[in-house]
Amino acid sequence: MTLANLLSDEQIIPEMQATERWSAIKELVDLLTAQGRLAEADRPEVLEALRVREQTMSTGIGFGIAIPHASSEKISEVVAAFGRSTSGIEFGSLDHAPVRFIVLFIVPKDQFQVHLRTLAAIAKFLNDRGVRERLASAEGGREILEVFGASGR
């Protein structure tokens, strides 16, 4: 499973409005709801699952990357959204640096292995400095999606 498979141009926010962790998570969940990837009625439960995960430990993993994630019985397949912030978002990251790239994903409750593989694939992909540089310079959602597809990961 690649990020290009999980995302479409419509699931990308090229310049997020949020300036802190929780509003960034809400902004991405709102995008998934608006795109019909997540039912409006399921939004509160998904936000709560993401909040609980963030309270355990920040999903800001360093290098300007955050990967908020959760599982939910309300979905039947993995859903994801990507947001970029050129100014950076305070996320309580492990390295205390602002986050510029956020990949939020939700996995069906009974798919633990898919959850782990998705998380590992995203972290490995974004760990590449060249990928982060291409994401930073991409102009708009279409170019960001091309970066995800170009690596084949």
Where the chain has pLDDT below 70, the residues are 1-2, 150-153
**Residue range(s) defining the domain that contains residue 60:** 3-150
Residues 147/131, Cβ–Cβ less than 8 Å: yes
> Structural domain tally of the chain?
1
Indicate the pTM of the whole model.
0.92
Catalytic residue among 21, 37, 69, 100, which? 69
Per residue in 85-117, pLDDT (tens digit) is 999 999 999 899 999 999 999 999 989 888 888
Q: How far apart are CA 88 and CA 74, in angstroms?
A: 31
Per-residue pLDDT at 141: 92
First to last CA, the chain: 8
pLDDT at 115: 85
- 69 given a catalytic annotation: yes
Phi-psi region of 96 (alpha: psi -120 to 50; beta: other; left: phi over 0): left
The conformation of residue 42, written as its DSSP 8-state character, comes to: G
